[in-house]
Every structure is written in C-alpha cells, then in structure tokens.
A and B are shown apart, each in its own frame.
Chain A
C-alpha cells in the first residue's frame, strides 16, 4: 500500500508538475526575443504565474517521494515504474493541455519509454 501511494505520487505529482509549468509557459505565450534583458523579463513574468508555483511544488513532492521509495525499494523495480511518466505525460498533455497526439507520437512515446527503462536498468 505504501509503495502504491508513493508510486502514484512520483508519477502524478512529477508529471502533473511538469504539465503545470507548461501551462504557465503557454499563459506567457511564445517568446521571440532572446536577448539577456528580455530573458530576465520572461523569467520574472514566469514566476508571477500561479501555475508555475503549483508545478514547482508538485515536482518537489515527486522528488522527495522518489527518494523515499528508493530508500526501501530496489532501483530495478522503481525505474520501470517511473518511466511510465512518459505515458502519463502524453495522457496529461492530451487532457489538461488539449494537445492533439497522433498515433505516430504515441508510438514514439512508448518506444522512448522502453528505451529509458533499458538504459536506467543497466545503470545499477
């Protein structure tokens, strides 16, 4: 039960956090000016958007949940589960950000998911 809750937090809060940051960026709109002063203005604006702070809080929660899980669970078990965040990200982007995900993009996401699992498993 404890593992299931922590896995849920890692995937939902981690991906949800990134989706919230994306939402904040979409509220700001496309950046065209990349000069240093303009980038500083962009950063200031970004941190004034509520979604940005919700996103950072959720990603922080996910990070600590990952650390907690790794303290008692094998990496070989944790990693494939966290790789599910690629799939969760695509679902979240479709539902929360209204992105249109083609079949080709779905296939690509699933292949990446498998590749990341293989690479991370060979690390330990």
Chain B
C-alpha cells in the first residue's frame, strides 16, 4: 500500500480535529439552546420568536461552525483512511468530553465513567496499532 507524504500526520491530525470539534459543537449548541429557552405555546408567533433568538445566539453559531469543522475533517480523512479505522478512533471524543468536563467545567466524573473512558482508550489504542488504510485509494 503506497502512502502519500505525511500520511500518518494528516490522518492523526484530522482525527484530533474530529474528537475536539464534535463534542465542542454539541456543548456550544446545548448552551445556546438553553439560553434560548423552550417554546411553551407553539404558536407561529412564538416559534418565529424562538427561531429569531436561535439565529441571534453566538453560541449556536459557534456550535454550528464547530460541527461543520468536524464534518469537513471527517469527510477529508475518509478520502484515504478506512471507515473501520476512523469510526472507532473517533470514539475518543467520549474521553475528551469527560476530560473537558472535569478540567474546564469542574464537573464530577464518576469512577465507572472513568473506567468506560479507559476502556475506550484501550480500544482506540488497539485499533490505532493497525494501518489506517487497507484498500487502494484514488490518487
């Protein structure tokens, strides 16, 4: 299997972008939507007002931008790497969420959850030891 220059670097770099921006996007969207608040009466006027608040929320736009960044990185890495390698490798984002919640937000993470994170890391490590590409790819 021929490799382009920087094959491993660009693969790991894009997976890193994926595991950072997917959870970040979800957190920002969640924060934005909590600020917007729920619709209570579901009248067209209220829904219009909610949509306006969503459109003017910086958190929502940052969340959308983060998720777009994730999706572009996901598409790019799949142009050369195996899906069966990228899918488990990107599950490292669960570990990232636990770590960010603990370090940045000071949230309590239960021992069972840390155990789950450790299991994911082990699985990602095992998958990571295999070559990211097993099929011929268009140059």
Contacts and interface: CB of A to CB of B under 8 A. Distances in A.
A30 B84 contact: no
A25 B78 contact: yes
Given A111-B122, A115-B120, A26 B88 contact: no
B94 A119 contact: yes
Contacts of A104: 126-127, 129-130
B123 A111 contact: yes
Q: Is the interface of B mostly helix, strand, loop or mixed?
A: helix
Nearest to A97: B83
B4 A32 contact: yes
Interface in B6-43: 10
B33 to A, nearest CB: 15
A107 interface: yes
Contacts of B122: 111, 115
Interface residues of A, number: 48
Per DSSP, chain A at the interface is: helix
Nearest to A32: B4
Contact of B78 (A21, A34, A107): A21
Task: Point out which of B83, B120, B130 has the most chain A C-beta atoms below 10 A from its C-beta.
Answer: B83
Interface of B: 4, 10, 72, 75-76, 78-80, 82-85, 87-88, 91, 94, 98, 110, 112-113, 115-130, 134-135, 137-139
